[in-house]
A and B are shown apart, each in its own frame.
Chain A
Amino acid sequence: MKSFNGILAIRRTVIYAILVTLMFISVCPFVILIINSTHLHAQILTGFSLMPGRYFIYNLKNLLGNPNLPVLRALLNSILVSFGNAFLATYFSAMTAYGIHMYQFKGRKSAFKFIMAVMMVPSQVTALGFVQLMEHMHLNDTLIPLIVPAIASPVVFFYIFQYMKATLPKSIVEASRVDGCNEFITFNVIVLPMIKPAIAVQAIFAFVNSWNNYFLPVLIVSSKNKKTIPILIAQLRDADYMKFDLAQVYMLVCIAIIPLLIAYLFLSHHIISGVTLGGVKE
């Protein structure tokens, strides 16, 4: 029995060593990122140092004052687009899920099957027609094509639908009908609060996806004051490397990544339980 425990202890030690190594690899790029964002361009060039510098605020001011990179404007656009996506995707997906879950109308099953079928269609394959259509509708170079399509988000729908199936009893809605409540008001006042956990998780994911989206925005947006953060990063990558102010590069990457990471650390519990709930589609 003792040797058995000994083997277990060895296994544990090996596993902890592997976990710590993985952790180190996962965290290392971000540590270097944060350290280098506190150094000046010249300091970064002379070699990497583990000690954080004192120029974080200085670099931040420099970046925000860069006339070629409208960082503040891009931040505003990114926040606007991401909040718009999070709100529209969750609200209308909840509406759609409620419609299919609660009502026995004609075509209900085919509506559900349709959404399941289109769930895996990548947005890249419709991008060509999408860009053309936006030009016809004179919506190119606006933020509308980056926000409004979120109303139809099959994956968000599927997650909320599964959640409703498990948690929303039909009797509650019938009770509110007896009380003479209008169906739409019932949905807003009674149903939405009941499915809040699912909405919160999906709002986070929709926000993150939209915040990180690069492929579609770069095809739609061209003018300087409509750009989002990922487009600025691509623009910086496109610039001449010799003229890079590396401190500003690190700072821009910081702005793109760090706020989200901080939010993640606070919400990680919800996010991680959300991944496992919605991940396996059965």
Chain B
Amino acid sequence: MKIKLQKKHSSIEYNRWGYFFIAPFFIIYLVFSLIPLFSTIANSFFETYRVGLMQIGPKFVFFKNYTEVLTNSELPKYAENTLIMWLLGFIPQILISLLLSIWFTDTELRLRCRSFFKTVIYMPNLIMASAFAMLFFVLFSDSGPVNNIALMTGKIAEPIRFLFRTDTVRLLVAAMNFLMWYGNTTLLLMSGIMGIDQSIFEAARIDGASPLQIFIRITLPQLLPILVYVMITSLIGGIQMFDVPQILTNGTGQPNRTTMTLIMYLNNHLFSRNYGLGGAVSVLIFILTAALSGIVYSSTLKESKKSDGGKK
């Protein structure tokens, strides 16, 4: 009895070490993320900006920054730009990733060089987005290699001004996002498919189901939670779209700010030190991502509860 008590006592002593191990994380998070988050929120209720060298404010204005941003700025337009460019990249991305992940995991097809293909399609994910955008800027400029090759082969009579047309700039941004992310999405979907019980596929095949039937009746329903996860995390990433359009259009969102994204707009306020409006934009983006992550958490939570229930 005495020994037992002592043992319990000493394990409590040990457990205090937990605080020591987690302290650095929480201290640094508090200082470098939590305090900035709260001061960003606080800033959104004050009028603070600069005119030349003159500092205006801070003056408490309550929700004025929010009404200003939502009704009197081009924020809705930038949200629309962001959404369009995200969709243009995401739709082909999810379709091609789905196909690739099914082919790579198909035991009947037995494709060769799978790991080589995986290595190559994942590669663009590691590339510096700003450098990639700079590369596309020179490749697609009026006298760049793409126009050059098209002219030489006689496909076009005069150079296409890729960087001065809304549709082409948006497509270029979407294409870069597609190239950078389809490999990553393929790998995620593959791990999802490999998590499905393989005997279901074999049973379906023995029953004479075609690949298309197997896909619609088995793979897709089983894969749905991961598809939702991929879609929402990609949307959260899409809301944060910045480096690629910023460098490609040099921060102008040319032509006529039709490729300006939410974060590019925020970045403009941060640079011009309009902390009131910048704060309001930050808080709105924060609420948007928080709501979306809420959906991810509740759906994965539901999923894990379901699987727990199955085991019992």
Known contacts: A95-B21, A99-B17, A261-B126. The answer to whether A272 contacts B119 by CB under 8 A is yes
The residue on B at minimum CB distance from A212 is: B128
- Residues of B near A229 (CB, < 8 A) are 128, 131
**Contacting A233 at CB < 8 Å: which of B117, B130, B266, B290?**
B130
B89 at the interface (CB under 8 A from A): no
Chain B CB within 10 Å, residue with most, of A102, A125, A268:
A125
> Which of A52-60, A61-69, A273-281 participates in binding chain B?
A273-281
Number of A-B residue pairs, CB cutoff 8 Å, is 290
Picked from B21, B130, B139, B143, the residue with its CB within 8 Å of the CB of A96 is B21
Interface of A is mostly: helix
Per the CB 8 Å criterion, the residue count for chain A at the interface is 96
Q: Could you tell me if B109 and A125 are in contact, using CB atoms closer than 8 angstroms?
A: no
By the criterion CB–CB under 8 Å, are B33 and A126 in contact? Answer: yes
Contact A151-B190, Cβ < 8 Å, known A33-B135, A133-B39: no
B283: interface (CB < 8 Å): yes
A6 within 8 Å of B by Cβ? no
Q: Is the CB of B127 within 8 A of A129?
A: no
- Give Cα distance in the complex from A236 to B130, angstroms: 11
User: What's the minimum C-beta distance from B96 to chain A, rounded to whole angstroms?
Assistant: 7
Determine whether the beta carbon of A121 is less than 8 Å from that of B131.
Answer: no
Alpha-carbon gap, A148 to B29, bound state (A): 10
From B19, B25, B149, B303, contact of A151 by CB (8 A):
B25
User: What is the bound-complex CA distance between A124 and B270, given in angstroms?
Assistant: 11
Partner of A214, one of B20, B35, B36, B243: B243
Chain B: interface size category: 35 or more
Contact present for A12 and B109 (CB under 8 Å): yes
Contact: A25 with B263, CB < 8 Å?
A: no
* B242/A257 in contact, CB under 8 A: no
Closest to B19 in A: A105
The answer on a CB contact under 8 Å between A124 and B242 is: yes
* A27 → chain B closest CB, angstroms: 7
A196 at the binding interface (Cβ < 8 Å): no
How many angstroms between the C-alpha atoms of A184 and B16 in the bound complex? 12
Contact A152 B138, beta carbon cutoff 8 Å: no
Select from chain B the residue with minimum beta-carbon distance to A177: B14
Contact of B226 with A280 in the complex, beta carbons under 8 Å:
yes
> Interface residues, chain B, CB within 8 Å of chain A?
11, 14-22, 24-26, 28-29, 31-33, 35-40, 43, 96, 99-100, 103, 108-109, 111, 115, 117-124, 126-132, 134-139, 141, 143, 145, 148-149, 152, 179, 183-184, 187-188, 190-192, 211, 226, 229, 236, 239-240, 242-243, 246-247, 250, 263, 266-267, 270-271, 275, 278-279, 282-283, 285-286, 289-290, 292-293, 296-297, 300, 303-304
